[in-house]
A and B are shown apart, each in its own frame.
Chain A
Amino acid sequence: MKVNDKALVRCILNGSPDAFTDLIQCYQKRLYSFLCKLTPCREDAEEMLQDVFIRVYRYLGKYDEARDFSTWIFKICVNVFKDYYRKQKKRPASCQAPYEEMAAIQDSPEISYEEKEDYLSVIRLINALKPDQKIAILLKQLHGLTYQEIAVILKISPANAKMKVSRARQFIGLELERQKRRRIG
């Protein structure tokens, strides 16, 4: 747990709800990036982000200071993400929001056609990953969490967490190679 997180949490628990705005400020960008990569639908990501902070505030009294706050908040974020789509009975991929990143790549003149195709394929393949694999690889590569931390968030063993990241990487790597071969052939 970072020192500033700890101080902010204590302020909030001591009856200063305004300190919570500082906590939101500290984490909203990271969590929003995480949620936007999990779901292509920005509106869903924003709604989920609000739900994350509301849940954080509600359960802050139960938070154990001995544990890492960043891991705790990501755990809540993952739970909110899973609950959101469970309640709505849809998969994130079914949301037909525009992929801004894809559009940006397609419009970029300085990137070769093949590079663009590879990059777009990677985006599609990441979005086709199983939710737990996607969460695991995001936590590893976007936020640099350890397998131990990912294990806590996904409620699995560290070895299992490493396996999920490995499977996700293999799926993307091998599938991209297959698609490239098909493109050339």
Chain B
Amino acid sequence: MCTYPYEDLHDYIDGCLPADRINEIGEHISKCPDCRQYYHSQVLVSQYLKQEVSSSIDVRHAVMLRIDKERYPVKGNPSIMRAVGKCTVTFARPVVLMVSLAVLVLILSYFIRYDPFSKTANHWSQATSSAESEPAFSHDSEHFSFYSNEQNQQVFSELTALFEANYQRIARDLDTALPWKVTVKIWQDEKTFYDAIGRKSENKGVMSGRKGSAIHVLQPPGGAGGWEATLGAAELTHIMIAEINPLNNVLWVHDSIELYEAVRFDRETVTEGLADYVQRGDVPDLDKLMGHYEAVPFGEVILPTLPEFVLDTFGPEKLKGIIKDPMNPEKVLGLSLKDFSRSWLDYLEKSYQVRFIK
């Protein structure tokens, strides 16, 4: 049995020896059968430990459902923090990526204005969390878990029908399904509801809100009935967009789909808005709409025609593609931005019976 010190062999394995010692020990291993066998056993150990685990794993959903998302209250603007984080991540990569980053920044400045979630997140930070107590009764449907302080079966049934119908529509349009049940908390008391969604109670008329991945709704006085057909649709839309691409923070994508799915526009209003363009001899500008729609005439009115156009012309898969890759709608649709704009205007003319003076 060779008496060569194990420590030297281990240092040789760890690669923490000067070059002359490495050569010396390497030479000894090549000549000594005992040490060669010992070294071989360590190679096998290394091989086994470094062997990749065959099954892949993703615990993001499971973990996010189990954590208290309000543990760390919002400080400053989360969208900016997030953007800083992302930029830092990108800068940490090799220099070769710097060129592509510069291009990305140009595109970002073109498309992004703010993180749609930051608006609500800042409101939520004002919430007095002490007011929110866990509702006592629950009811499960296929895609939702409802919670309420009242055991009112009619309310549960009505909301189940309403939410499931919205779910079917939005899931079909976005070509996606949530692998978990969405929590819906039903509040009877206005103050508690506003506290739960982090809004001030003077915001009368708000009947639903989102906090994290939970939807909160305010029960109309008198119990059941009186629900808006699109109750919770906007919140559900954002949850599904986040499910498809949690990093998507492009305003026009979020808001256009929210407006489209929440049916806050009607075709008559869109037609009126487009007629105004015709009267002024103007044409809707896709670039401006994607960049800063609130500054565009009738921007909020015509914005939902973008997902409508994509769905009618290309189908849900492409809309999902844009959510996944919001920086490259041209790539997703296989069109240049100019052709995208032209096709969209043609669609508006045909669909809304208007004729722009181009």
Contact = CB atoms under 8 A, between A and B. Distances in A.
A24 B61 CA distance: 10
A53 interface: yes
B73 interface: yes
Contacts of A53: 59, 63, 67
Contact of B6 (A50, A140, A169): A169
A28 B45 contact: no
Q: Chain A interface secondary structure, helix, strand, loop or mixed?
A: helix
Contacts of B31: none
Interface residues of A, number: 60
B1 to A, nearest CB: 9
B72 A172 contact: no
A49 interface: yes
Interface residues of B, number: 57
A4 B89 contact: yes
Interface string B1-37: 0000011001001100000000000000000001001
Contacts of B64: 17, 20-21
Main secondary structure of the interface of B (DSSP, over half): helix
A24 B59 contact: yes
A12 B44 CA distance: 41
Contact of A11 (B34, B63, B81): B81
Nearest to A100: B54
A15 B212 CA distance: 11
Contacts of B85: 4, 7-8, 10-11, 19, 22
A119 B121 contact: no
Nearest to B54: A100
Contacts of A3: 88-89, 91-92
Given A58-B71, A122-B41, A33 B53 contact: yes
A46 interface: yes
Interface string A35-70: 011000010001001100110011011000000000
B246 interface: yes
A74 B76 CA distance: 30
A122 B44 contact: yes
A100 B72 CA distance: 41
Given A36-B53, A169-B10, A17 B45 contact: no
A183 interface: no
A138 interface: yes
Given A22-B85, A53-B59, A60-B72, 16 more contacts: A7-B85, A10-B85, A11-B81, A11-B85, A14-B72, A14-B74, A16-B81, A21-B246, A22-B247, A42-B55, A57-B71, A61-B72, A100-B55, A122-B48, A169-B10, A169-B42
Interface of B: 6-7, 10, 13-14, 34, 37-38, 40-42, 44-60, 62-64, 66-67, 69, 71-76, 78, 81-82, 84-86, 88-89, 91-92, 117, 121, 125, 212, 242, 246-247
Task: Kindly list the 5 A-B residue pairs having the minimum CB-CB distance in the complex, ordered from nearest.
Answer: A15-B74, A7-B85, A7-B88, A4-B89, A17-B69
16 contacts: A3-B92, A7-B86, A10-B81, A15-B75, A15-B125, A17-B64, A20-B63, A24-B59, A24-B60, A29-B56, A29-B57, A36-B53, A46-B57, A61-B72, A119-B47, A169-B42
